[in-house]
């Protein structure tokens, strides 16, 4: 007797269900696609328990005739194609005729439908692939309503591998997002547990539909691109390069209104952004392609997510060329909005040293007539300016050793000012201000020029408030962490010092340049430090230590703040709720794709919760499949440390610089930031001597 035999239709449908029906989101996708193929202008999706307990899809399409209803759940029965030649000219989302049969074989299935020609509808119920009572009449509006109850009730192994309710809901919302973006002219409604997740009215504006899912801010920074010819039409939006993501989840490609995934399209998009975004970041794009069906094969993937182009090179070059031409003709300069909270920043036009520190600001140097015939006018103007300056400086008494910095060039000569042996002297009767030493004597602290005030210098060791201090106050979380750094240690050399060297007897001192780098000396030579990278490493080590001891300090919010996310982002955050709580972030489900923040890390109280949550969600979505929980937690700590660390452009006080340098010896791997970038560059003394010709 032969060993090969024909499988029953029931077994065939279950096998097909294993390929097509992976989870509730797969059911929703197949049913909504059928509704769209039926010409529906409104689709309502209702779920319970993430779709495991109930999935109901109702539409106002043209319906199914009574005699066709039994065939609708038969394997490989369809109204969308009739012969094999039509496989290469498919214009509908579905065409295989196996979705309903597969769904009905693994659930308790109910189908109601009515066509416009009939006064009443008809209903069919199927349990585990077996028809119960046949087609019966029923009432109802024109269209089709399908209910799927107890998904995978007869395949317990498959049901056991389903995830939590929030995770399954996240997959469903992503499926609805893809379909709603492809069909903005259709009204979509998604409800879960009697709560409305999405209610998206039909619209002619694709930008509005994108804004409904991803926010108005992103939608307003999208750039329209288009290119048309007879064989390929490309149009859509790409985001400004300042808007990127940590993954490619916000790249949506639609071919003839079908959502697809294609590596060549992703590569073309990345190449178009090359040099515009940082390595490791991914661009955001929403692109629609229209081309004749015979130029593409959509029958190469079980769920039709992947396609095969007849001329893939043309599609690749079209996307790459269109985007590059658009970028070349667009102004991509990042604009920074004015922040009212930074009005005391000396880098802003409204900064007033008088208002901030109580120190009178020196009068501006007058514009001078440089013609040699007007030298008397120049001398007079300089004298008036010096007379205005001196009382302002003298007003501060002897508490600050400050002297005016006066040019020794033609202006000083015109005013009768002489510079002798590094000491400034003037004929003015107010010469008692004192002499200025360009460099301090050995053993005394150096002088730092006060920001934006070239007529004053300040001793580093003073504790009186300065403009830099006000900047530290306005910096928020960064300054808080800077002040939190313990600066009690005496000498923390950059490298193991040589016994008896100056590095072992002198406290580490540094100079900040360009508001981003710290320069100091070591036993080896000159050291340049990236202030953000070093501070990020310090904070990361402290955060890891605190989390290991029981969690970060939380700040309870008086008014919980709702944060709108995508369905997948909300599901990922809610699934990692315990981990986030250990990091000081307390969240609760608010319904739909919205979560409520009720507590927040005290160290990040000056940062917006919605920005932090979105970045944390990106990390969770990117790493949860490849990384263990400890690795995901480590990446979250990286993000929080980066957020709280001082940034390039932040002005530090001398005490903050010293404290930052002192902390180097108290942490591990201080020479690299948590992301692997170096924090320190050392220029050895021998190399400097060689460059300056000393050896």
Separation between Cα atoms, residue 675 and residue 695, nearest integer Å: 38
| CA-to-CA dists, residue 474 to 96, 530, 602, 648, angstroms | 62, 21, 16, 15
Q: Are 320 and 238 in contact (CB under 8 A)?
A: no
Predicted pLDDT of residue 635: 74
Q: Are 482 and 660 in contact (CB under 8 A)?
A: yes
Predicted pLDDT of residue 276: 78
Q: Strand 108-114 and strand 136-138: pairing? A: unpaired
* Segments of the chain with pLDDT less than 70: 1, 10, 13-19, 84-87, 275, 333-508, 551, 605, 623-632, 676
pTM equals 0.62
| CA-to-CA dists, residue 554 to 343, 564, 581, 602, 619, angstroms | 29, 22, 9, 5, 21
Predicted pLDDT of residue 320: 93
Predicted pLDDT of residue 70: 92
Q: Are 32 and 146 in contact (CB under 8 A)?
A: no
- Give the burial class of 359: count Cβ atoms within 10 A of its Cβ; 0-12 exposed, 13-18 middle, 19 or more buried: buried
Each residue of 213-241: pLDDT tens digit? 999 999 999 999 999 998 899 999 999 88
Residue 11 exposure: Cα atoms within 13 Å on the Cβ side: 4
Q: Are 284 and 268 in contact (CB under 8 A)?
A: no
| CA-to-CA dists, residue 518 to 429, 452, 650, angstroms | 41, 19, 12
Predicted pLDDT of residue 172: 97
Separation between Cα atoms, residue 530 and residue 488, nearest integer Å: 22
Which residue blocks in 329-374 are alpha helix, DSSP H? 353-357
Each residue of 528-562: pLDDT tens digit? 999 999 999 899 888 888 877 776 778 888 888 99
DSSP assignment of 422-452 equals TEEE-SSTTGGG----SSPPTTSPPEEEPTT
Q: Which of 621, 636, 613, 620 is nearest to 561 (CA)?
A: 613
């Amino acid at each position: 007797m032969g060993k090969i035999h024909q499988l029953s239709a029931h077994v065939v449908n279950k096998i097909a269900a294993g390929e097509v029906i992976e989870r509730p989101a797969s059911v929703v996708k197949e049913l909504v696609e059928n509704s769209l193929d039926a010409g529906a202008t409104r689709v309502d999706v209702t779920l319970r328990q993430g779709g495991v307990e109930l999935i109901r899809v109702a539409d106002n399409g043209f319906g199914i005739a009574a005699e066709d209803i039994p065939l609708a759940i038969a394997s490989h029965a369809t109204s969308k194609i009739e012969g094999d030649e039509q496989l290469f000219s498919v214009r509908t989302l579905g065409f295989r005729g196996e979705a309903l049969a597969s769904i009905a074989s693994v659930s308790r299935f109910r189908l109601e439908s009515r066509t416009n020609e009939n006064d009443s509808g008809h209903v069919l119920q199927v349990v585990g692939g077996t028809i119960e009572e046949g087609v019966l009449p029923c009432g109802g509006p024109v269209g089709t309503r399908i209910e799927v109850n107890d998904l995978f009730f007869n395949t317990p192994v498959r049901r056991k591998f389903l995830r939590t309710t929030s995770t399954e809901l996240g997959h469903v919302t992503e499926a609805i997002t893809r379909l709603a973006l492809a069909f903005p002219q259709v009204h979509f409604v998604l409800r879960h547990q009697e709560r409305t997740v999405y209610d998206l009215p039909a619209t002619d504006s694709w930008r509005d539909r994108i804004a409904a899912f991803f926010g108005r801010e992103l939608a307003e920074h999208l750039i329209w691109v288009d290119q048309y010819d007879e064989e390929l039409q490309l149009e859509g939006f790409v985001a400004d390069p300042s808007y990127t993501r940590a993954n490619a989840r916000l790249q949506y490609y639609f071919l003839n209104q079908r959502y697809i995934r294609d590596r060549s399209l992703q590569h073309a998009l990345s190449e178009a952004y090359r040099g515009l975004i940082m390595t490791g970041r991914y661009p955001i794009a929403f692109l629609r392609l229209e081309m004749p069906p015979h130029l593409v094969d959509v029958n190469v993937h079980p769920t039709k997510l992947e396609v095969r182009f007849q001329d893939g090179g043309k599609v690749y070059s079209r996307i790459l060329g269109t985007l590059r031409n658009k970028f070349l003709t667009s102004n991509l300069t990042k604009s920074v909005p004015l922040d009212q909270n930074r009005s005391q920043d000396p880098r802003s036009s409204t900064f007033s040293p008088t208002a901030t520190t109580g120190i009178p600001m020196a009068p501006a140097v007058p514009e001078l007539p440089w013609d040699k015939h007007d030298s008397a006018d120049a001398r007079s103007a300089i004298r008036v300016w010096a007379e205005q300056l001196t009382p302002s400086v003298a007003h501060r008494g002897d508490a600050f050793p400050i002297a005016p910095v006066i040019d020794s060039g033609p202006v000083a000569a015109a005013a009768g000012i002489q510079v002798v042996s590094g000491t400034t002297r003037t004929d003015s009767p107010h010469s008692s201000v004192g002499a200025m030493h360009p460099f301090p004597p050995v053993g005394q602290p150096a002088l730092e020029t006060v920001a934006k005030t070239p007529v004053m210098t300040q001793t580093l060791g003073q504790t009186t408030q300065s403009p830099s201090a006000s900047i530290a106050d306005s910096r928020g979380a960064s300054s808080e962490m800077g002040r939190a750094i313990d600066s009690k240690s005496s000498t923390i050399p950059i490298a193991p010092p040589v016994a008896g060297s100056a590095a072992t007897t002198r406290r580490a001192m540094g100079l900040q340049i360009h508001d981003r780098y710290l320069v100091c000396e070591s036993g080896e030579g000159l050291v340049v430090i990236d202030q953000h990278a070093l501070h990020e490493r310090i904070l990361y080590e402290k955060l890891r230590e605190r989390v290991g001891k029981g969690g970060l300090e939380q700040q309870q919010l008086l008014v919980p703040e709702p944060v709108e996310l995508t369905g997948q982002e909300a599901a990922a955050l809610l699934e990692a709720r315990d981990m986030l709580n250990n990091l000081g972030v307390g969240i609760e489900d608010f319904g739909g794709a919205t979560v409520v923040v009720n507590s927040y890390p005290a160290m990040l109280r000056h940062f917006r919760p919605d920005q932090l949550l979105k970045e944390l969600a990106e990390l969770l979505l990117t790493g949860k499949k490849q990384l263990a929980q400890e690795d995901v937690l480590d990446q979250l700590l990286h993000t929080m440390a980066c957020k709280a660390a001082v940034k390039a452009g932040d002005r530090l006080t001398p005490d903050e610089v010293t404290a930052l340098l002192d902390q180097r010896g108290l942490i591990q791997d201080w020479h690299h930031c948590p992301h692997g970038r170096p924090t320190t560059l050392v220029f050895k003394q021998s190399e400097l001597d060689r460059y300056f010709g000393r050896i």
